A and B are shown apart, each in its own frame.
Chain A
């Protein structure tokens, strides 16, 4: 973690969090799904 990141909430690689917002998956065949406040994972990706 660099100096600029000091004071931020520490995160673990297996964390899952709910983000405020919406995901919409839609196609030309008329299918459409909306997911409110979807769950996402957070991960250290440096070096992956």
Chain B
């Protein structure tokens, strides 16, 4: 997504645009960072009653390349985007939740919600400063579509930058 916005350079001497760059929907990728993409493509999903949602844990990779469902301690993920698009222009929503650990995730004990948005046909959450994952916590995505039709198709994307933790 490309956005235009007013830039106010800060400081003296050489102009500093770094703050403005961070306002872009996709943050600048530093040399020591990499992208991490979580994408789902569903078809024929049963519609839920309004007020209900589907929920799924996000997976992260450790520095050794192992896929885990609790945020790893050796890699920090800066989550900056979560979005859904539906096959129809119906009410959809997307949200991100944080659970303190895997046991809390099983017990539905939500530590906090990072955001929850509704839209028609599509909904997007953007974190201009990113959300850093904390080791051991579980991050999950909620999504749903609400319409009289029984089934829907949906695409979900979560983008993050991953960065190795230097101890």
Contacts and interface: CB of A to CB of B under 8 A. Distances in A.
A42 B37 contact: no
Contacts of A13: 108
A44 B53 CA distance: 6
Contact of B42 (A20, A41, A48): A20
Interface in B26-75: 34-56, 59, 61, 65, 67
- How many chain B residues sit at the interface, stated as a range, is 35 or more
17 contacts: A5-B49, A8-B150, A13-B108, A19-B42, A20-B43, A21-B42, A23-B38, A24-B37, A24-B39, A25-B67, A26-B37, A27-B35, A41-B55, A42-B55, A45-B51, A45-B53, A46-B51
Interface of B: 34-56, 59, 61, 65, 67, 95, 108, 110, 113, 116, 142, 148, 150, 162
